[in-house]
Structure 1
Amino acid sequence: MTLMATTGSLRASAVLTAFFGLTLPLMPVQALLLRVSDKAARRFPHWYHRQVCRLLGVRLSIEGTVAKGAPVLLICNHTSWLDIPVLSALAPVSFVAKLEVGGWPFVSALARLQRSVFVDRTRRLAAGDAANEITKRLRQGDTIVLFAEGTSSDGNRVLPFKTSLFGAVAGATMPAADQVVVQTAAVVYTHIHGVPVTRAERPRLGWYGDMEMTSHAWGVLKSGSITVTIKVSPPVPLAEFKDRKDLALKSERAVRRDVLAILRGRSDSDLVPVEPSEEARRAKLMVPVRKSEKWT
């Protein structure tokens, strides 16, 4: 084993030990807060994940802010399990997660403590229950994170957004829609040890396909310090969107634009390629977004 590999393994072991040393004592604290204070139960995971990011060596470079004092649907691209602590460190949030996450050892406990909403995409009735829960949370003023691609990518592309995932919150079907605002967050892992991540290296941080989580997490922990850049769009009232397809199309366009903007300082060969949405492919046309326009 080389010196670099040995150093990386030692670092990963130290980070993992510190993570469990922080997390295990705090899990019953959050469980208690869920019973006694909704406000504290929202904010405590935000503080906790900021500490987790420090332990992992993840540095956040943030442009924009998540709106306060209003229910927010935060629509994001999805690259890695790292997105969870990163976005939780950005603001007090809860996630919409696939049902399978609820069955993962330990991870499921953390997800439930953060009040995640689990969606069974194979059953319509279950999806309806999840939609009701999302609606309820937004009415309570929560910030709900939706990974609109429906899965994670290798970090070199933004996958088409799935319009079905927007059904719970789109248009006039959502009670008090005039109070809900929509924001997008483009999340890009840009540097390792201060060195720009190239297109070939980016999948090292992405967790996608049939990758095994334990080995991938170990590799990330061995890598060293990571810089993630997050660009948050200005809030737009949910009521301004005609329906779920309109919301999906415009938010997808905004995320693609902002992902490219984060990487624009690099050579053209390092820019993230984009894939047109389902609607755009059918129309065979992508409408360009002018700099003077709002994110929609």
Structure 2
Amino acid sequence: MTLRIVFLAFIVLPFTLFGLPVQLSIVALRLPFWQVLPAIFFKLVAFGLGLRVSLAGQPLAKGPVLIVANHIGWLDIVAVASKLPVSFVAKSEVARWPVIGTFARLHRTIFVDRTRRTDTRRTAAEMSARIAQDVPVLLFAEGTSGIGTHVLPFRSALMGAALQDGARIQPLAIAYTKISGLPLSRSERRQIAWIGDMGIGDNLGAILGSGPKDVVLAFGAPIPAQGDRKRNAQRAENTVRRMLNALNRCDPLPRDGEVV
């Protein structure tokens, strides 16, 4: 734990202090390489937190895509952003959080106010515009987080953002499979997951105090964004559930999530 704190304090913190004003200028000027500094930042943070992230399946490299995933905690963002240049969709409260809200805005996060039904249309339009720019958008489709043993029903309201010509929906299963090389127990999953009324300080302390954590990002076969959004949400949910169950059991992935 001490070595991780030293790494975060003397490597990640100086990089952050240097990179924040640069990233602020890049985002303000709408320059196309806005994802470069965040990618380096999240790789450093992932290393500092002991995350060992691997990919399974093939993420779409080109074309408009909405990625829909299960959600376990804020570590998901670090794991995904350390490997993929995506824009996240997050609840509006995140924008008001100290420090984290600033980071989220500089990463061009799309915020949604879940207390206002009318905000769904605005958020979907922003997602659609970002997708049309060939920037992958990632939606945690459950609308909440769990401990990583199962998948909750996917909400379809925002998935209509992908319903445009040529767009595709790609299911993503996020699975924390091992700590210190051993399969996770249920109690260890609660050290990683951010659930209930757990404070971020307690969660961060548990993460820093645990051994190296293996995380698998498993991509399913893309789904054409055509037809009914509820049907698309159900298809994506079924794919993510099959892949997550397989990864948790250390079984081979189903045909729509083959390991590469």
Partner of 1:185: 172
Answer whether contact 2:180 2:211 (CA < 8 A) is retained. yes
Partner of 1:261: 246
The Cα of 1:247 is off from its aligned counterpart by: 1.2
Answer whether contact 1:12 1:218 (CA < 8 A) is retained. no
Listed one character per residue, the Cα deviations across residues 11-30 of structure 1 (whole Å, up to 9, x for unaligned) are 45324414323322211121
- 2-side partners of 1:64 and 1:31: how far apart? 34
Equivalent of 2:234 in 249, 253, 257: 249
Partner of 2:6: 14
Secondary structure (helix, strand or coil) at the match of 2:33 reads: helix
Equivalent of 1:139 in 108, 119, 132: 132
Partner of 2:107: 114
Structure 2 spans left out of the alignment, 5+ residues: none
- 1-side partners of 2:143 and 2:202: how far apart? 23
Q: Kindly name which structure, 1 or 2, has the bigger radius of gyration based on alpha carbons.
A: 1
Q: 5 Å matches for 1:195-210?
A: 195-210=182-197
Equivalent of 2:118 in 121, 125, 129: 125
The one-letter amino acid paired with 2:175 is V
Q: Identity of aligned pairs, percent? A: 37
- 1-side partners of 2:215 and 2:181: how far apart? 11
Query: Structure 1 residue 72 and structure 2 residue 72: aligned?
Result: no
The Cα of 1:212 is off from its aligned counterpart by: 0.5
- 2-side partners of 1:152 and 1:143: how far apart? 21
Partner of 1:159: 152
RMSD: 1.9
Query: Structure 1 residue 83 and structure 2 residue 76: aligned?
Result: yes
The one-letter amino acid paired with 2:86 is V
Answer whether contact 1:63 1:231 (CA < 8 A) is retained. yes
The Cα of 1:37 is off from its aligned counterpart by: 5.1
Structure 1 spans left out of the alignment, 5+ residues: 1-7, 267-290
Partner of 1:28: 21
Query: Which TM-score applies when normalising by structure 2?
Result: 0.90
Secondary structure (helix, strand or coil) at the match of 2:187 reads: coil
Partner of 2:208: 221
The Cα of 1:48 is off from its aligned counterpart by: 2.5
- 1-side partners of 2:144 and 2:12: how far apart? 26
Listed one character per residue, the Cα deviations across residues 60-86 of structure 1 (whole Å, up to 9, x for unaligned) are 121123212211101111001100111
Secondary structure (helix, strand or coil) at the match of 1:229 reads: strand
Q: How many residues align?
A: 254
Secondary structure (helix, strand or coil) at the match of 1:75 reads: strand
- 1-side partners of 2:49 and 2:250: how far apart? 26
- 1-side partners of 2:4 and 2:39: how far apart? 23
- 1-side partners of 2:25 and 2:187: how far apart? 45
Listed one character per residue, the Cα deviations across residues 88-141 of structure 1 (whole Å, up to 9, x for unaligned) are 122100100001111100000000001000000111232221111111111111
Listed one character per residue, the Cα deviations across residues 19-71 of structure 1 (whole Å, up to 9, x for unaligned) are 32332221112112223454201343223312221222211121123212211
Query: Which TM-score applies when normalising by structure 1?
Result: 0.80
- 2-side partners of 1:15 and 1:157: how far apart? 33
Secondary structure (helix, strand or coil) at the match of 1:187 reads: strand
Compared CA separation, residues 47 and 71, structure 1 to 2 (3 A)? farther
